Structure 1
Amino acid sequence: MTNRIALFMLALAGLILSISPSLGAEPVWRHATAMIDETKYPEGFARFDYVNPDAPKGGTLKLSQEGTFDSFNPVLAKGELAAGLNLVFDALMKASEDEVSSSYGLIAESISFPDDISKVTFRLRTEARWADGTPVTPEDVIFSFDKAKELNPLQANYYAHVVSAEKTGEREVTFLFDENNNQELPQILGQILIFPKHWWEGTDKDGNARDISRTTLEPVMGSGPYRIAAFKPGSTIRYERRADYWGKDLNVNVGQHNFDAIEYIYFTDANVEFEAFRAGTVDFRQENSSSKWATAYDFPAIETGEIKREEIENPLRAVGIMQAMVPNMRRDKFKDARVRRALNFALDFEDLNHNLAFDGLARVDSYFWGTELAATGLPEGREKEILEGLKDKIPAEVFTTPFTNPVGGDPQKARANLRQALTLFREAGYELKGQQLVNSKTGEPFEIEILLSSPSLERSVLPYVASLKKIGVDARIRTVDASQYTNRVRSFDYDMIWNVWAQTLNPGNEQAGYWGSAAVDRQGSRNYAGISDPAVDELIRMVIFAQSRAEKTAAVRALDRVLLAHHYVVPLFYSDAVKVAYRKALTHPAELPYYGTGFPEVWWMDESN
């Protein structure tokens, strides 16, 4: 009996140790996290290498924005959120722009997690303060996380495996996970913007109770370097730098937040927005039109040097781009992969690139285009092993035929591509009757409404519409205002949209929101194509739980290859550099961060230039 009792007590002690964090090993506190390599900057580092610690403070930076805004509530996935709100709020950690995936303490002075990554704990800085002088507390962090998951579908999906946030010390917050070894979770939890619980649960100047579940145009309070100083609904916003910002001397902030004020001016017309830049009303512009970059920057301010132009490769070194026309497979007519492939044959990229972009673009051929993660050639090594484990669930062509886009550029190739498109449509059950493509069984015409958010996109889509009409597709463009576009996309109310997915070199949880079955019916998710495929889901899990860089690379390439083989989107194009133009008084360090422009954080105003 004694031995049995002793054994029982030993087992009980082991169980208590397994479920009680306080009885486990002492936590290891880190000043930073890194997903790929070791962190570049040691504990106690002075500043990031890419900043100018002596950058002067001052001046007003005037920026433009297309569209409108009707909310200052950054928690919600509804309403049109005002630009620049990240200036008002801090996160637990701050990313370095000269590393691929490293973050350093901001509100949190340190971070700790066990080897099995079953949880993560953040220790908050004692000096962290809200704009009203109140300390940032663990209760604020818990409130921010809980409300983000409750009120924002994107956040709910992103943090699906974070089951709770708990106060575990006077300055400590612990997030518990329902599965282990997801290496990304500690870092992405550090990216959550933190909101003041006491402010949101208080009342406004008129005594009305605030409600974080509703949009608001009351200037919100944060702990960040700027505050909302003035605004006109839907028109302008002015942020002013806070002299009393608690974190202004932190190493992660040295040489940053150099403008006294940052103003956003909204325009409903892209051409008017450009004219405002030409006239000097706006200080900085990122140009997304290759044709405009080639032909429209010949005004006097360019010739006199008052406006500078640069093409900066840095931001694209660590970003994989998929820009595409996205058919919505929630509509039956797009469920057949042959139909989706036919839609690609109708796009003549080479003609569009030459006539509209002066050959300044490249065709996208990967969901991770421009990075080492893009699938190329035929699968080999570990990537092939992963795909062979799924071979009964994926298209056979992934093993035999590398993905390529159709090539046009001259009338003969264009005609051949359109013939191939019609062949695919016939195989999928459609036929031409006169000049109209119809369903062979029902006689229903094949129609596509392409939903756009801006008239500036129309010139690139019109040639595609004309090409589709040549094969009998009743294609048309519908351009709507920002609010209507946002609402229709969030509710998946469209045939086809134009979208850009930007990938990091460390893909993870967001992939489930982009392509995962669980997101297909979740309104507000970024699974715009309506993908629901068991093999894709399995590959996403392999990406998320990869335990080495080599394993993650192989899993991502396998995922890329399967997504391409299903022809879920019609890949478009992109540039290999970010094109910017700005007033000469705007100044940046001689060496920009390797993976970014540093704008506007590390830029400053020098009127003597």
Structure 2
Amino acid sequence: MRSQSRAKVAMPHKKSALTLISKAAGLATAVFLAQAALAEEGIIKSHGYSFFGDLKYPVDYAHFDYVNPDAPKGGEISIAVSGTFDSMNPYTRNGRAAALSTVMYESLLGEILAGNGSLPADAEGELYGLLAESVEYPIDKSWVIFRMRPEATFADGTPVTAHDVDFSHNLLLDQGLKSYADFVRKQIPKTEVIDDHTIKFYFADGISRRSLIEQVGTVPVWSKAWYEKTGARLDEPRIEISPGSGPYVVQSLDVNRRVTFSRNPDYWGWDLPINQGRHNFDVIRLEYFADSTAAFEAFKAGEVTYRREPDPKKWASSYDFPAVDRGDVKLEELPDGTPPNMTGIVFNLGSDVLKDKRVRQAIALAFNFEWTNKSLLYGLYAQQKSYSDGTHLEAKGLPEGDDLEFLQSLGDLVPDEMMTIEPWVPHTSDPDRLTSRSNKRQALKLLAEAGWEVADDGIVRNSEGASLKLNFLFNSSASPTDRAAAENFVANLENFGIEAAFETVDASQYTKRERDRDYDLVFDGYPSLLGTGTGLVQRFGSEASSYSLFNPAGLASPLVDEIIERSLRTTSQEDEDISIRALDRALRHEFFLIPDGFAPNHWVAYWDMFEHPAEIPPYALGTLDFWWANADKAEALKASGALR
């Protein structure tokens, strides 16, 4: 029910069945890569990277297919943000960083502006050189060399060098998130600055080569000289920022009210193919509001000019104000080609009362998706059933063929029920009643099996007389629809005899408490499974499960660990797909999240002065990346008095 329910999470992916790149393009690129490899036996040299070597765009590509290379530059786009911020540093555990606080920085291999998608947005698992002019590596991927563009500079005019890349990599290890640092140190034991514009990363022996080149290639590059001069730390909240090398710079900011980014006319990379048709707005302005209601009113008034609508109730019933009627505000439903992320109500598996899966299953039966969708979401949502929903990677039916053989190879790690029962899917409920009686009966039965019985006072208690108590942590800046859905879920829990405290806190407290995992239940989620990568270890792995910010449930499963390990060692797309289907099946078996549903399309509303390509690519909406402003339309809106 939240805006991030379809948002892409930054982690390595492979292609989904929905949008496989054409075989012809792949064959042409394979020929190119083979020719490049002949230049130096055993060494692959390329302008981009994917694990299996297939790239859609050749070395002489002019621009990505989906962009408008002639898009005009100029104009301003303003976006509302609910909540507060007290930092421009998103890499610390303390404080709350402003939105888009990473857009000033670039990496060796290009990523989409402001995250929330892939670059290119029409191909999964591919990366192309940005700060790096080329990438080279041996067939066994035991190391990688990036040769950087000597013309790259930071916004203060100083050159971006391999020394800055090396510094940034180590800064994240020394002062970044512990779960990230612990993982990366084991994978990447050594870096070597060969010269001012060439850097080499060495990878540990005996480990999977998955995601390693992507990992080092997408680290943001910061100015070593600035950090050494100022003494700033990455693990502290701060407003001051280091100069970035990207197309935008911070123009101004007013803490908790506004951040304005402006397009840098002196940006070094305007002529690169990777940047054609992108970064088109002169100004990106973020306006902060206490809650989503105030943010929506600001959009209606024209103080904010673009809105991606996360609330189906608003989308269905609130866009009837005069500016829409006049045609000054445009509404669009644009296709989203990605499978939904698995978001919803996450169980903290570290809570004693939630360690028993039967208790979690009973609690889940209090969430009535069908009633919520009909009564609060206008029937516009669908519910996730898989971590690879709607793709060829979704586990279905009983395991058979290669899928069965893979699971059998895992031995006793696989419980019998995974072999004999079809993969978990969400329960169904009565859409006309908040409390489905059959679900309540089933829930009470599960609780009884777990040692929790309904006492004479109607409260669920254990053999010692203690009641079953839960804490549901909720962000006060969330939408009223989210709040209504959560409150009705809590009401159902109380109807079941469970004492559930619905605790609403402000955005700053929410961020801190979620980082500290101070909750039993929380709205959060996990990315969809599109392929393998070391990001799976950080998301689902046991080693950092007690503290990883990427694993809000604290999942720790030897079965999941082994599947991920085997997936990382696969050597063909077919074997990788088999392992990912097994992972989907295992994650659903572990059951640590109640899916809350997703919008099948992007819902966008904007004052009619913005334009976008006729075909939105499957892997990114790309508003801040490849949309543009129409100056004539903007002037007409101002001339009419619709906008100031």
CA apart distance, 1:435: 4.2
Name the structure 1 match of 2:347: 327
Distance across 2 between alignment mates of 1:357 and 1:397? 34
SS at match of 1:311: strand
Please give the alpha-carbon distance, in whole angstroms, between the structure 2 residues aligned to 1:567 and 1:132.
50
- What do residues 85-115 of structure 1 show as CA deviations (whole Å, max 9, x unaligned)? 2321111111211111211100011111211
2:45 match: secondary structure: coil
Amino acid at match of 2:150: T
Query: Is the CA contact (8 Å cut-off) linking 1:36 and 1:506 kept in structure 2?
Result: no
Alpha-carbon shift at residue 188 of structure 1 (Å):
2.9
* Equivalent residue in structure 1 for 2:135, among 111, 120, 139: 111
Aligned residues: 578
Map Cα deviations across residues 248-298 of structure 1 (whole Å, 9 max, x no partner): 111000111111111111112110111111111111111111121111111
Confirm whether residue 374 of structure 1 aligns to residue 398 of structure 2: no
Residue 324 of structure 2 is matched in structure 1 by: 302
Match of 1:488 in 2: 513
Q: Is the 8 A contact 1:118 1:181 kept in 2?
A: no
Separation (CA, whole Å) in 1 of partners of 2:375 and 2:365: 19
Any conservation in 1 of the 2:368–2:435 contact (CA below 8 Å)? no
8 Å contact kept, 2:121–2:618: yes
Distance 2:474 2:435 in 1: 28
1:508 Cα offset (Å):
1.5
**1:11 — aligned with what?**
none
Query: Residue 166 of structure 2 aligns to which amino acid in structure 1?
Result: I
Residue deviations 1:463-514 (CA, integer Å, cap 9, x gap): 2111111110011211211211111111111111111322352331121122
- Return the match for 1:191 from 198, 205, 218: 218
2:228 matches 1:238: no
Distance 1:336 1:82, change over 3 A: same
Contact residue 88 and residue 226 of structure 1 kept, 8 A: yes
Structure-to-structure mapping, 1:256-267, within 5 angstroms: 256-267=278-289
Q: CA 1:25 to 1:75, structure 2 compared with 1: closer, same or farther past 3 Å? A: farther
Structure 1 CA distance for aligned equivalents of residues 460 and 429 of structure 2 = 25
Structure 1: unaligned runs, 5 residues or longer: 1-23, 204-208
1:404 to 425, 428, 436: 425
Task: Verify the 8 A CA contact 2:371 2:433 in the aligned structure 1.
Answer: no
Alignment check: 8 A CA contact 1:320 1:505 kept:
no
The match for 1:561 is: 585
Letter in 1 for 2:397: G
Deviation at 1:342, TM superposition (A): 1.0
Partner of 1:29: helix, strand, or coil? strand
More moved, 340-349 vs 384-393 = 384-393
SS state at 1:97 partner:
coil
Structure 2: 5+ residue runs without aligned partners?
Answer: 1-39, 111-118, 634-644
Alpha carbons of structure 1 residues 404 and 26: separation in structure 2 relative to 1, 3 Å = closer
Aligned CA distance change for structure 1 residues 595 and 117 (closer, same or farther; 3 Å): same
Identity of aligned residues (%): 37
Mapped to 2, the partners of 1:553 and 1:28 lie a distance apart of 25
Q: How far apart are residue 395 of structure 1 and its match? A: 3.0
2:44 aligned residue: 28
CA distances 1:346-380 after superposition (whole Å, capped 9, x unpaired): 21111111111111111111122243322122222
Contact kept, 8 Å, 2:529 with 2:584, in 1: the verdict is: no
Contact 2:531 2:580 in 1 (8 A): no
Residues 483 and 111 from structure 1, CA distance in 2 versus in 1: closer, same or farther, beyond 3 angstroms? same
AA of the residue aligned to 1:446:
L
1:234, 1:266 within 8 Å by CA — same for their partners in 2?
Answer: yes
Aligned partners of 1:54, 1:508: CA distance in 2, in Å?
36
Task: Provide the alpha-carbon RMSD of the alignment.
Answer: 1.9
Q: Measure the CA separation in 1 of the matches of 2:317 and 2:549.
A: 38
Residue 586 in structure 1 maps to residue 610 in structure 2: yes
Q: Does 1:214 align with 2:236?
A: yes
* 8 A Cα contact 1:93 1:191, kept in partner: yes
Query: Does structure 1 retain, via aligned residues, the 8 Å contact 2:368–2:429?
Result: yes
Distance 1:63 1:268 in 2: 14
Once structures 1 and 2 are overlaid, which stretch shifts more, 497-506 or 119-128?
A: 497-506
Query: Contact 1:435 / 1:471 at 8 angstroms: preserved in 2?
Result: no
Shift of 1:155: 2.9
Say whether 1:272 aligns with 2:272: no
Distance 2:308 2:97 in 1: 20
Aligned letter for 1:52? N
Partner residue, 1:90: 106
* Equivalent residue number for residue 475 of structure 1: 500
Alignment of structure 1 residues 130-529 onto 2, 5 Å? 130-150=154-174, 151-156=176-181, 159=184, 160-178=186-204, 179-203=206-230, 209-314=231-336, 317-402=337-422, 403-409=424-430, 410-411=432-433, 414-453=436-475, 454-456=477-479, 457-503=482-528, 505-522=530-547, 524-529=548-553
Q: 1:319 to 1:158 in 2, by over 3 A?
A: farther
Match of 2:294, SS state, is helix
Contact 1:238 1:264 in 2 (8 A): yes
Distance 1:555 1:26, change over 3 A: closer
Cα deviation 1:40-77 (Å, max 9, x = unaligned): 11102111111112111111111111111111224334
C-alpha contact (below 8 Å) 1:586/1:604 kept by paired residues: yes
Matched letter for residue 362 of structure 1 = A
Does the C-alpha gap of structure 1 residues 423 and 502 become closer, same or farther in structure 2, counting only changes over 3 Å?
Answer: same
Please give the secondary structure, in 2, of the residue aligned with 1:360. Answer: coil
Instruction: Say if 1:113 and 1:186, in contact at 8 Å, map to a contact too.
Output: no
8 Å CA contact retained: 1:93, 1:190: yes
- Indicate the SS of the match to 2:514: helix
Judge conservation of contact 1:69–1:233 (CA < 8 Å) in 2.
yes
Mark the structure with the bigger radius of gyration. 1
Tell me which residue corresponds to 1:13. Answer: none
Moved more, 436-445 or 213-222: 436-445
Does residue 43 of the first structure (1) align with residue 68 of the second (2)? no
Name the residue aligned to 2:568: 544
**Offset of 1:382 from its aligned partner?**
2.0
**8 Å CA contact 1:36, 1:100 repeated in 2:** no
Contact 1:319 1:502 in 2 (8 A): no
Indicate the residue corresponding to 1:4 in structure 2. Answer: none
The TM-score with structure 2 as length reference comes to 0.86
Q: For the structure 1 residues 386 and 437, does the alpha-carbon distance in structure 2 shift closer, same or farther, using more than 3 Å as the test?
A: farther
Question: Is the CA contact (8 Å cut-off) linking 1:200 and 1:212 kept in structure 2?
Answer: no
Give how far 1:34 is off. Answer: 2.1
Provide, for residues 361-416 of structure 1, a one-character-per-residue CA deviation record: whole Å limited to 9, x for no partner: 11111122243322122222222122222352233222222222211124598101
Q: Distance in 1 between matches of 2:628 and 2:128?
A: 23
The 8 Å contact of residues 373 and 379 in structure 2, kept in 1 or not, is answered as: yes
Q: Secondary structure at the match of 2:138?
A: coil
Q: Which moved more, 1:567-576 or 1:325-334?
A: 567-576
